């Protein structure tokens, strides 16, 4: 079966976020051999050095949250240098990643909904039908939220 690039990218992002191959397999309902082949073919291990755009978004959010929490804990939020660095980081986030965050959140939600259906719904025909549309939905959303 030929998978679209959005599915391969989502699998890679899940892996680079720390998910194991079996977890990625279960989440996306793709054979483990396929995921392993993609990992080797597209050199996901090397990609860890050059962070994926989605992983970069999460790192930027985490850095901002950590800096803000640190300023709150240390009561240094009023310090002009600290406030300035937080404002600059917030501006960078605002200019570069809002649509990518939306896309990532939606794709993660689709992944979670799919996993829920597989674990809680006993109607195999429904699950098959739903699963068939996931790549098309993901592709549609990618086009909508990455057209900047």
Between the alpha carbon of residue 88 and those of residues 15, 69, 76, 120, the distances in Å are 30, 16, 16, 45
Q: How many domains does the chain have?
A: 1
Q: Is residue 68 part of a domain?
A: yes
Write down the mean pLDDT value for the chain. Answer: 79
Which domain covers residue 76, as residue numbers?
A: 52-96
Task: For residue 33, name the pLDDT band (cuts at 50, 70, 90).
Answer: very high
SS3 148: coil
Q: Is residue 63 part of a domain?
A: yes
Q: What is the pLDDT of residues 48-85, one digit of tens each?
A: 545 555 566 667 777 888 888 888 888 887 888 888 88
Contact between 82 and 72 under an 8 Å Cβ cutoff? The reply is no
Q: Is residue 61 part of a domain?
A: yes
Tokens of 3: 């998978």
Q: CA 131, CA 117: separation in Å to the nearest integer?
A: 10
Q: Is residue 144 part of a domain?
A: no
Q: Is residue 71 part of a domain?
A: yes
Pick from 45, 12, 52: which is nearest to 28 by CA? 12
Q: Is residue 18 part of a domain?
A: no
Q: CA 19, CA 58: separation in Å to the nearest integer?
A: 15
């Amino acid at each position: 079966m030929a998978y679209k690039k959005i599915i391969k990218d989502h699998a890679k992002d899940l892996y680079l976020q720390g998910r194991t191959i079996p977890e990625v397999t279960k989440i996306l309902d793709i054979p483990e051999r396929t995921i392993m082949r993609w990992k080797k073919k597209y050199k996901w291990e090397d990609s860890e050095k050059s962070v994926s755009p989605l992983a970069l978004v999460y790192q930027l959010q985490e850095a901002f949250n950590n800096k803000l929490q640190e300023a709150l804990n240390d009561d240094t939020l009023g310090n002009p240098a600290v406030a300035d660095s937080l404002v600059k980081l917030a501006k960078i986030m605002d200019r570069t990643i809002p649509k990518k965050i939306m896309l990532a959140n939606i794709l993660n939600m689709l992944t979670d909904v799919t996993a829920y259906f597989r674990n809680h719904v006993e109607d195999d025909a429904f699950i098959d039908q739903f699963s068939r549309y996931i790549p098309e939905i993901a592709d549609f959303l990618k086009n909508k939220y990455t057209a900047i």
